[in-house]
A and B are shown apart, each in its own frame.
Chain A
Amino acid sequence: MYEFNDGVDLTPPVGAFSNNVSGYYYEPRFTTYVAAGGKHSVGLCQWDSKFDNVKTDQIIMHDETEDVNPVIIQVKLVSPNDRGPPIVVITTLTHVRLYAVADTKHIFSVRQPGFKTKIELTKEYEDRDASGKTTAQDVIANAKEMYQISRGITCVDSYIYVGCNDGSILVMHCNNSRHVTLKPTLKEHQNAIIGLATCAYDYLTVCADVTGDVSVWPRNFKTVTKLIRTKHNISALNILRKHIIVGNYQGLVLLFNIASGELVAEIAAHGREVTSVSVAPESAYMLTASRDGVVNIWKLHTRRPEAFSVRMTTRD
């Protein structure tokens, strides 16, 4: 029923992190844009409605000061103002960066909150080391995660929201396509955020953290309207009409009602962790992808999802 149609070869090989590919359809010019994150650079391509005029480009990440290689974590195309072509939001190991797709020009960067330089961390270790012989317990206590990465990118009106490792949400406001200001971060979750998603119709945004808590925000992001404790280890998140769709590490896809917070359906969909959930709001289709190499296509009929399963070949 579904088969491979066409492909575009991008210069950087696609990276290993999930949610590093994003598509955007720009209506005024009938152009589809795609951004795919490699390890150190993002490949961009665009085509028109007949899959002609395919153009490809590349944004290479540079890191001026740090001695860290700027590995790319997540990539998303957003449109903070409807008139212009989209902006690509790239989260890397050290920063969150915004680029214009049209001319690959850098617009804005913000440092990841909580990022410590290597020098700071080495000093901590050496201070401890100087005090005497280190025991196994010391080593274990010192073996801390060094990186604070951001996952979860969404856009509502002219604001871009990015979820952070400490549970806060970065807020950036775009006046026009070139001028971006950083607004106060939103603090609601205490654990790393895994995903952000906005409903195209009612502009409700959901935000999930790694412990399974999902917060629901209204369009103005004033305050959380609902907090749902799903008690699942969430690996992917999206929203479709009245349902929050959540994927977990055991391959389950769960649907929660956004108003009541109740579990509506539980689908044993995949044999590995669910890496991404995509939705087509107008037609109520949902796609779930997993590390088992299968993309499932679901149709949501108010209550009952029906599935069409598609197998794709895996690449390493």
Chain B
Amino acid sequence: MSSLSVPLLIINLAGEMSYILEQRLKAQNFIEDKSVKVLHEIMESWLNKDFLDRLFSPCHIYQLSSMRQFFDRLAHTSIMRLNEASMEKLFHLMTMTVKYQVVTVTHPYELFNVTLNHLDGIRTIMKDNPGVLEYVDYAYTLVNNVYFTLPEWQMSLIRDTMLSFFVDTRIKVSILLREEKQDRLGHFILYKDAVQLPPKASIPGTIRYYINGEHVTSTSFPVKAKYVPNDVTEEEYDKRLQCEPTDRGTALGRNLYLSMTDIQVTRGVTGKDETKPIGDEFKLLSKLLQPKADNLDETQKIVLSLFDDDDATPVRKSSNRRSNSSTSTKVKISKESRTVEAAMKELAIRPTSKKGKGEDLANLLDEAVAETTPKRKASAKKRTGSATSTGSRTPSRSGSVKGTRAAH
């Protein structure tokens, strides 16, 4: 168990969050400067010296629920407001992608390359904001100096700690399903054709015998899987770790959403966290996320529903507390019994709901009240393993959802 895994976790998760938000904001055709503003504000709130310094100071490992609260707060440092379901889906998507990355790295040091990929991705998104770019460089310096010199066993422990953090989280995500990285039960498919070996590893299948320190004979044994050696040279390897964006040698951590138009998150299993969250650990870090002063003006908020994959579901009527926001704050929940095929089909026939969201928003801004912020905190704490049962759910909906949730 290693406390040094916390900065890596947060940087990777925040990187994924920035990719997803950028893609969703574009896909929903928000007013250009507003969406840019949202992203920049979110990135500025954590990419600054105070936060990064604090992040790298020793701190306890968080649980998934605390991490969720943290990212909740991070997402709301801008003028954007996400409804409960959107936030949950965003978090699930972030978590599963980072989990996939941690599980599939060929060797523990590759986590470093994955983190650098995320930093490169953030650089691309934030290319017009020199202030943030400066702190991305600062983050790079910290990551490089703290992790680069760690021995392999410590890096392996960090990776194990990250895996332990993600234990029993199995939520099906359409990107991973589509690329056959995840199966129907939510488990990852690790090796499709061949196994990529870590650097300096020999291809399995041989036994070398030694007498008095001298190699005498070799025999071989049959091996079922195919292994691909890693031929990277020392020079090439060092080049991949430089500050400037470059090919980091792995696709993990890159922005997969650049070419996508739609993202879906299906219901899945999240591990039960029965222990109570650590006292004030996250509050310390969360406090350092400073929203801009003018964000406190409530009429400026953009209320956002990130995942439009449920346009077929009728909008809940007046029993929904959020009925004032009729179009953009629909609570999106995929049906429990939906199969992968049905989900894939919906990708094809998804109606374009981009009917001039800008104008609708302008109307909504008048109606929308910051209604969800206090309630969300309470509901986030009540997560008891069921991914949907939160305090703010209306009885009718939770009844139907719970009814379809078979024994998990």
B103 within 8 A of A: yes
Q: Among the listed A273, A294, A309, A314, which residue makes an inter-chain contact with B156, where contact means beta carbons less than 8 Å apart?
A: A273
* Nearest chain A residue, comparing its CB with the CB of B274: A40
B344 within 8 A of A: no
Interface residues of chain B: helix, strand, loop or mixed (majority): loop
Q: Report yes or no: B142 in contact with A140, Cβ–Cβ below 8 A.
A: yes
Q: How far, in angstroms, from A235 to B201 measured CA to CA in the complex?
A: 14
A311 within 8 A of B: yes
Q: Report yes or no: A146 in contact with B59, Cβ–Cβ below 8 A.
A: yes
B128 within 8 A of A: no
Per-position 1/0 for B366-388, Cβ under 8 A of A:
00000000000000000000000
Q: How far, in angstroms, from A194 to B152 measured CA to CA in the complex?
A: 13
Q: Report if A69-B164 is in contact (Cβ < 8 Å); known contacts: A251-B204, A316-B99.
A: no
Interface residues of chain A: helix, strand, loop or mixed (majority): loop
Q: Report yes or no: A68 in contact with B278, Cβ–Cβ below 8 A.
A: yes
Per-position 1/0 for B137-171, Cβ under 8 A of A:
01001100110000111101100110110111010
Q: Report if A142-B203 is in contact (Cβ < 8 Å); known contacts: A273-B156, A309-B222.
A: no
Q: Report yes or no: B207 in contact with A305, Cβ–Cβ below 8 A.
A: yes
Q: Report if A142-B221 is in contact (Cβ < 8 Å); known contacts: A69-B275, A69-B278, A147-B2.
A: no
Q: Which B residues, 58 to 113, have Cβ-Cβ distances below 8 Å to chain A?
A: 58-61, 63, 99, 103, 106-108
* Nearest chain A residue, comparing its CB with the CB of B58: A146
Binds A, one of B186-194, B247-255, B305-313, B326-334: B186-194
B3 within 8 A of A: yes
Cβ-Cβ contact count across A and B, 8 Å cutoff: 182
Write out the residue numbers on chain B whose beta carbons fall within 8 Å of the beta carbon of A69: 60-61, 63, 275, 278
Q: How far, in angstroms, from A292 to B228 measured CA to CA in the complex?
A: 13
A50 within 8 A of B: no
User: Smallest Cβ distance from B398 to chain A, in angstroms?
Assistant: 25
Q: Report yes or no: A16 in contact with B57, Cβ–Cβ below 8 A.
A: no
User: Smallest Cβ distance from B288 to chain A, in angstroms?
Assistant: 13
Q: Report if A266-B4 is in contact (Cβ < 8 Å); known contacts: A69-B278, A125-B57, A235-B156.
A: no
A118 within 8 A of B: yes
Write out the residue numbers on chain A whose beta carbons fall within 8 Å of the beta carbon of B167: 13, 15-16, 38-39
B281 within 8 A of A: yes
Q: Report yes or no: B2 in contact with A140, Cβ–Cβ below 8 A.
A: no
Q: How far, in angstroms, from A263 to B271 measured CA to CA in the complex?
A: 44
A289 within 8 A of B: no
Q: Report yes or no: B1 in contact with A136, Cβ–Cβ below 8 A.
A: no
Q: Report yes or no: B53 in contact with A139, Cβ–Cβ below 8 A.
A: yes
A262 within 8 A of B: yes
Q: Report yes or no: B151 in contact with A252, Cβ–Cβ below 8 A.
A: no
Q: How far, in angstroms, from A159 to B208 measured CA to CA in the complex?
A: 37
Q: How far, in angstroms, from A272 to B105 measured CA to CA in the complex?
A: 10
The residue among B7, B103, B190 with the most chain A CB atoms within 10 A of its own CB is B190
Binds A, one of B18-26, B209-217, B293-301, B348-356: B209-217
Q: Report yes or no: A249 in contact with B57, Cβ–Cβ below 8 A.
A: no
Q: How far, in angstroms, from A134 to B54 measured CA to CA in the complex?
A: 10
Write out the residue numbers on chain A whose beta carbons fall within 8 Å of the beta carbon of B58: 121, 125, 142-146
* Nearest chain A residue, comparing its CB with the CB of B66: A69
User: Smallest Cβ distance from A92 to chain B, in angstroms?
Assistant: 9
Q: How far, in angstroms, from A303 to B211 measured CA to CA in the complex?
A: 11
Q: Report yes or no: A292 in contact with B156, Cβ–Cβ below 8 A.
A: no
User: Smallest Cβ distance from B46 to chain A, in angstroms?
Assistant: 15
Q: How far, in angstroms, from A309 to B146 measured CA to CA in the complex?
A: 39
B358 within 8 A of A: no
Q: Report yes or no: B152 in contact with A249, Cβ–Cβ below 8 A.
A: yes
Q: Report yes or no: A264 in contact with B2, Cβ–Cβ below 8 A.
A: no
* Nearest chain B residue, comparing its CB with the CB of A142: B57
Q: How far, in angstroms, from A4 to B89 measured CA to CA in the complex?
A: 36
Per-position 1/0 for B215-245, Cβ under 8 A of A:
0000101111101000000000000000000
Q: Among the listed B61, B152, B219, which residue makes an inter-chain contact with A233, where contact means beta carbons less than 8 Å apart?
A: B152
User: Smallest Cβ distance from B36 to chain A, in angstroms?
Assistant: 29
B131 within 8 A of A: no
B129 within 8 A of A: no
B324 within 8 A of A: no
Per-position 1/0 for B1-33, Cβ under 8 A of A:
111100100000000000000000000000000
B197 within 8 A of A: yes
Q: Report yes or no: A250 in contact with B164, Cβ–Cβ below 8 A.
A: no
B404 within 8 A of A: no
Q: Report if A136-B141 is in contact (Cβ < 8 Å); known contacts: A40-B275, A272-B106.
A: yes
Write out the residue numbers on chain B whose beta carbons fall within 8 Å of the beta carbon of A134: 53
The residue among A68, A139, A262, A271 with the most chain B CB atoms within 10 A of its own CB is A271
Q: How far, in angstroms, from A282 to B62 measured CA to CA in the complex?
A: 45
User: Smallest Cβ distance from B256 to chain A, in angstroms?
Assistant: 19
The residue among B108, B167, B188, B205 with the most chain A CB atoms within 10 A of its own CB is B167
22 CB contacts below 8 A, A to B, read A13-B271, A16-B163, A17-B160, A40-B274, A67-B60, A70-B275, A118-B59, A142-B56, A146-B3, A146-B59, A149-B157, A211-B151, A249-B152, A249-B156, A251-B197, A252-B202, A263-B213, A265-B207, A266-B208, A266-B210, A309-B223, A311-B224
Q: Could you tell me which B residues sit within 8 Å of A by CB distance?
A: 1-4, 7, 52-53, 56-61, 63, 99, 103, 106-108, 138, 141-142, 145-146, 151-154, 156-157, 160-161, 163-164, 166-168, 170, 187-188, 190-191, 195, 197-198, 200-210, 212-213, 219, 221-225, 227, 271, 274-275, 278-279, 281
Further 6 A-B residue pairs, CB within 8 A, beyond A40-B275, A249-B156, A272-B107: A16-B160, A142-B57, A146-B3, A263-B213, A268-B205, A305-B207
